[in-house]
Amino acid sequence: QVTLRESGPALVKPTQTLTLTCTFSGFSLSTSGVSVTWIRQPPGKALEWLARIDWDADKYYSTSLKTRVTISRDTSKNQVVLTMTNMDPVDTATYYCARMTTGYSFDYWGQGTLVTVSS
């Protein structure tokens, strides 16, 4: 059974760095073809893809956020970590991690974690 769960702070202050952890089970990020991504959704707005990390450690970032976002993995712990620097109130959103599969679709998602940026 594949599961993913996001964890991290619910509240961060402007200019701080956000660190979110995706802990997954039921698959291995060492398996060829497997990728994990981060996606966010600001309140009332569209989903936005943020970053992706592959089984071979290749990384991809949203063009608009690539200067602020870093994705990393710990395959021994089955975790993927997202860091986002210089947080701003516009970054307030529910952050999801998801496994990417065939056709660049996302077959399993976590339930998401709401991050509010406020002083």
User: Which residues 6+ apart lie within 8 Å of 21 measured at CB?
Assistant: 6, 7, 8, 79, 80, 81, 82
49 forms part of the interface with another protein (CB under 8 A): yes
Identify which of residues 21 and 62 has a Cβ nearer to another protein in the complex.
62
In angstroms, rounded to a whole number, what is the distance separating the alpha carbons of residues 70 and 113?
Answer: 18
Applying the rule CB under 8 A, the residues between 5 and 34 that interact with another protein are none
- Segment interacting with another protein, rule: CB under 8 A, options 7-15, 25-33, 58-66, 85-93: 58-66
Residue 56 sits in the site that holds another protein (CB under 8 A)? no
Distance of alpha carbon 44 from alpha carbon 56, whole angstroms: 35
CB 71 within 8 A of CB 81: yes
Quote the least distance from Cβ 111 to another protein, whole Å. 5
By CB under 8 A, the residues from 59 to 118 that bind another protein are: 60, 62-63, 96, 98, 101-112
- What is the C-alpha to C-alpha distance for residues 116 and 107, in angstroms, rounded to an integer? 27
First to last CA, the chain: 40
48 binds another protein (CB under 8 A): yes
Which residues form the interface with another protein (CB under 8 A)?
Answer: 4, 39, 45-49, 52, 60, 62-63, 96, 98, 101-112
